[in-house]
Chains A and B, each alone.
Chain A
Amino acid sequence: MSEALRRIVSGNSLKTRLWIASALMLVVVVILVARLWHLQMIRGSSLDEQSLTNRVRLIRLQSSRGRILDCAGRVLAENRPNFRFSVMPAELQDSYEVIRTCGPVLGLTPERMRVLIQQSKSIPKFLNYPIKKNVSLEQLVLVQSRLTGLKGVTLEARPYRRYNYGKTLCHVLGTMGEISRKELVRGSRVGYRPGDLIGKSGIEKEYETYLKGNDGWEQIEIDARGRQLAVRSRRPAEAGSDVILTVDALLQRYIEEIFVPRAGAVVAVDPDSGRVLAIVSKPDFDLNLFSPSISEVDWKDLNSDPLHPLENRAIRGLYSPASTFKIVAAAAALAEKIVTPKQAFECAGRFDLAGKSFRCWNQYGHGKVDLHRAIVESCDIYFYKLGLKMGADRMAKYASLFGLGMPSGLGLPQELPGLIPTSQWKRRNYGDYIKDGEMVAISIGQGSVVTTPIQLAMMTAALANDGKLLRPAIVSQIRSPEGGVVYDHAPVVRWDLPLDDDIMSFLHKSFLDVVDGAKGTGKRCRIPGITVHAKTGTSQVISFKQRPEDNASVPYHERSHALFVAYVKDRPKKIALVVVVEHGGGGGTSAAPIARKILAKYYGVPDPGDPEE
């Protein structure tokens, strides 16, 4: 008992301390209430008056967006002023007068104006509601002279994006658009307002935080008529940073011009640094359609086009790599010692397996083929047999090592991973193992194997640089408006491939003969004086009972996709290249000439044209 008493006296009992704490909390609340009373009851009437005549406004000074440049400093995207005529519903008094004086000048009928002004009342009443966007300079001068004496009407200069090269690099640069409600809820803390433009795709979206800059503020006093009296204080806006790409706009535009087929993709990279030299996706669209805002007709046209021009096929197009996958299969077979370069298989033009017959593209058969010949002449039967010996999982391991079936990490939004089938994947999705018939398809890059052009480009680059899988880069530098370097690209080696020098030189020799050999499938890519290594691929969209006689007799959507990967490694300026022509027929026929033209342009030599048969 005395112990408890002592505790209470010394203030060490929990209960006593809780009483003291409660009392202290209530004291604080009383202080708050006292302050509240002081503000609301004693100073209330004067503050109330101030609220009625509150004429101090905080005006945002919008920052100017950074530019996007190519590797040589050519300006791809910049800002231009765009004028819009707006009304502020809260301050608009005489809407009839506005319709009468401004309508004819702006080319709007009184009915249309009335509807628009009515609509403006549904938005927050202190915000400007645009009545007419894209006011021309002549209209601007005319409207300006009539504005005096009208309240609640403004002409705002808003920057919009101008894309100097139009269609060039459209998928990479990406579009801007008005901020959506969802983005606004997310971004309200970083200073976005309704009506702001924000990057919606491509670089404009991915590098939004760098391009945007920081808004400034200005505190102004206005009179009862809403006119500005004085600037109390201001903090200027900070412009956004410039994003400099690795792409060469001239090479890019050249490829876009020579790529005549309807749809497809081209990716060219520097195999030593992973820098993307050109990245083309066809069909394309003019970026300026989207700026300042896209018309409904254009939007419908782009969206309903069966060829999906808005899709960036270079990172989102899923194609069976077809025979270009033999790069993986050959490397895997040699590294895993499944075959020796000398070992030969018999190709009779067809291969029977469990009652099904698999054909080689050469229906008469290649006879006895070793690995070198199987690559050069692209013999399918050889790789069927090799694939069956290897199994899906070992194949998948090497495909992954070459960067297939996973995003390349280019740093553009919405890149697709593609798919490399493994027995685990098969079990999880179908509850089954990979059957031999399926393995046969996998070993020539068909079946469920799908990859994107950027992955194929990085796979080719890994050959060209003797075994390093690099992360591709599209942004070379980010520079602040003062010229400081915010970001500078340095090559990133994702990993080294476990391929020794013997295997490497064997592969180089084989891919060289694909172009230079008498029976090489890629001889249409021959350029005198340049050692081009390459592999062709023809990916079937549907399977035919009988091989069709010629491409033209097949409907467009049933034609095979043509693929061609190529690299040049013995020059100071190296390149790795992939060309995909959708429904282009044979890789050697339709994709190889495009690759040849690109390489000739890149090395500044004249295009030798197709070799004579």
Chain B
Amino acid sequence: MIGSHHGSTLATATRFEWPLIVISLLLAAIGVCIIYSATVPMGDVGMSLVLRQITWCSLGLILMAAFLLTDYRFLERWAVWFYLAVVVALVVVWSLGKVTAGSKRWIDLGLMQFQPSEFAKLAVVIILAKVYQDFAGKTKLHLRDLTKPFILAAIPVFLVFVQPDLGTGGVIALIAVSMTVFVGIERRALLVLGTVAACAVPVAWLAADRLLFTYQKRRLLTYLNPDYDPLGSGYHIMQSHIAIGSGGLLGKGYLQGTQNQLMFLPAKHTDFVFSILAEEWGFVGCATVLVLFSLLFLRGMAVAAMSRDSFGALAAFGCTTIIFWHVAINIGMVMGLLPVVGVPLSFLSYGGSSLLSSFLVIAILVNVSMRRFTF
């Protein structure tokens, strides 16, 4: 690479990753529109939810801009501290939950409630990228190489599980697995892990089946997601089906969805936001959103491919999988392909912490992309 300092900054400016920014802003804007529609039936409260979401969007943009000023390598240097901070925050949330005798997912900061589990995903991606950077593209992972990443991922996963937040805990586990598989596991280690998993799953399944009565299982599930299935009768997923199906090709029109406006849908501005999109904007609207997400995944992969070092590549890959798993699980869930677990749809669902962490994902991707020529 030849070029003066001036040349490299010019390159940075011209190769700025506009597509990712445009896609994320489009998705966030669509999200605000749907949240508005979802909260119209709530009256005044609804409007203040929309205003909050817009505030968080702007906050996300500011955070993103600020993050772009420094080289992403600083994430590598600070990975351990970032990770520790998130673990401490999770422990605090857990102990607060113990005190108030209930599910507790956030820390109250006065102005907003900070949900550390949303940032746990980023922390895991960054710390794993740091650990795996010496392996990626060179050697595959042996069994002994896997101990450290396993522990690093297991701690936050466990802390999120006990909140209890089954969905987010699962997403963090999936992200860790994705990154590990991406780096590549050596054949013998793969064999061992495969055998262990193949044995553990039926054992756990049988144990749960034998030891728990049906009502206990239902109670456990209700306990894990109290918002979605208060009666254990599939009411909400049925209503979500009706909402999506009745949208048809073009949808019932903005603010016209009966499932939405008559409040048949549960948690509709948070986890079931896609059902409203489907009801009011139809197949065309949903497909558009899915295309936008696909473009985001492809750009994310392209950034990983172009990265100047393997830390950047791994961080970009991990960040993309964060969004990917959210999209896959959330949309699979509202369409009845997956069990109902509380996972928000990135950029679209109402929620400050989720939105901020999604914008941070984009910020990391853009940062990796724009610094690929600077050494």
Which positions in A face B, CB cutoff 8 Å? 7, 11-15, 17-18, 21-22, 25-26, 28-29, 31-33, 35-37, 39-41, 43-48, 50-52, 54, 56-58, 90, 123-126, 181, 184-186, 188-190, 194, 209, 217, 219, 232-235, 486
- Residues of B within 8 Å of A17, CB to CB, are 182, 184
What's the Cα separation between A32 and B263 when bound, in Å? 25
- Residues of B within 8 Å of A233, CB to CB, are 231-233
- Flag whether B149 is at the interface (Cβ < 8 A): no
Q: Mark B55-89, 1 if CB is under 8 A from A, else 0.
A: 00000000000000000000000000000000000
B293 (CB) vs chain A CBs: closest residue: A29
Which residue of B230, B290, B313, B328 has the most chain A CB atoms within 10 A of its CB atom? B230
- Flag whether B353 is at the interface (Cβ < 8 A): no
A37 to chain B, nearest CB (A): 7
A-B contact pairs, 24 of them (CB 8 A): A7-B137, A18-B301, A18-B304, A18-B305, A21-B182, A21-B317, A22-B297, A28-B324, A29-B290, A36-B286, A37-B283, A40-B278, A41-B283, A50-B242, A51-B242, A51-B258, A90-B262, A181-B45, A188-B45, A194-B43, A209-B102, A217-B231, A235-B230, A486-B101
- Flag whether B244 is at the interface (Cβ < 8 A): yes
Q: Which of A52, A188, A217 contacts B258 (CB 8 A)?
A: A52
- Residues of B within 8 Å of A235, CB to CB, are 230-231
Determine whether the beta carbon of B244 is less than 8 Å from that of A185: no
- Residues of A within 8 Å of B294, CB to CB, are 25-26, 29
- Residues of A within 8 Å of B263, CB to CB, are 124, 126
Determine whether the beta carbon of B297 is less than 8 Å from that of A25: yes
What's the Cα separation between A562 and B196 when bound, in Å? 77
- Residues of B within 8 Å of A50, CB to CB, are 242, 245-246
- Residues of B within 8 Å of A188, CB to CB, are 45
What's the Cα separation between A46 and B290 when bound, in Å? 24
Contacts A126-B41, A185-B52, A219-B233; A48 near B297 (Cβ below 8 A): no
A466 to chain B, nearest CB (A): 32
A42 to chain B, nearest CB (A): 9
Q: Which of B48, B235, B287, B310 contacts A33 (CB 8 A)?
A: B287
Contacts A18-B304, A40-B245, A185-B45; A33 near B230 (Cβ below 8 A): no
A50 to chain B, nearest CB (A): 5
Q: Which of B45, B48, B140, B298 contacts A12 (CB 8 A)?
A: B140
B276 to chain A, nearest CB (A): 13
Question: B285-341: which residues lie under 8 A (CB-CB) from chain A?
Answer: 286-287, 290, 293-294, 297-298, 301, 304-305, 310, 313, 317, 324, 327-328, 331-332, 335, 337
- Which secondary structure dominates chain A's binding surface? helix
What's the Cα separation between A219 and B238 when bound, in Å? 13
- Residues of A within 8 Å of B279, CB to CB, are 51
B interface, size bucket? 35 or more
A241 to chain B, nearest CB (A): 10
Determine whether the beta carbon of B45 is less than 8 Å from that of A36: no
A-B contact count (CB 8 A): 157
Q: Which of B48, B184, B298 contacts A181 (CB 8 A)?
A: B48
- Residues of A within 8 Å of B140, CB to CB, are 12
B184 (CB) vs chain A CBs: closest residue: A12
Q: Mark B73-113, 1 if CB is under 8 A from A, else 0.
A: 00000000000000000000000000011100000000001
What's the Cα separation between A241 and B321 when bound, in Å? 45
- Residues of A within 8 Å of B177, CB to CB, are none
Determine whether the beta carbon of B242 is less than 8 Å from that of A44: no
- Residues of B within 8 Å of A18, CB to CB, are 301, 304-305, 317
If A190-B102, A219-B233 are given as contacts, then 12 extra A-B residue pairs at C-beta distance below 8 Å, sorted by A number, are A12-B140, A18-B301, A21-B182, A21-B317, A39-B244, A41-B249, A44-B246, A44-B247, A45-B248, A51-B259, A52-B246, A57-B264
Determine whether the beta carbon of B242 is less than 8 Å from that of A54: yes
Determine whether the beta carbon of B245 is less than 8 Å from that of A43: yes
Determine whether the beta carbon of A124 is less than 8 Å from that of B43: yes
Q: Which of A25, A28, A41, A185 contacts B48 (CB 8 A)?
A: A185
- Flag whether B171 is at the interface (Cβ < 8 A): no
- Flag whether B227 is at the interface (Cβ < 8 A): yes
Determine whether the beta carbon of A41 is less than 8 Å from that of B44: no
- Residues of B within 8 Å of A41, CB to CB, are 248-249, 283
What's the Cα separation between A18 and B290 when bound, in Å? 20
Which are the 3 A-B pairs with shortest beta-carbon distances?
A47-B245, A51-B246, A48-B246
- Residues of A within 8 Å of B48, CB to CB, are 181, 185
Q: Which of B249, B298, B310 contacts A40 (CB 8 A)?
A: B249
Determine whether the beta carbon of B42 is less than 8 Å from that of A124: yes
What's the Cα separation between A222 and B332 when bound, in Å? 30
Q: Which of B137, B233, B258, B331 contacts A32 (CB 8 A)?
A: B331
B260 to chain A, nearest CB (A): 10
Determine whether the beta carbon of B242 is less than 8 Å from that of A47: yes
B283 (CB) vs chain A CBs: closest residue: A40
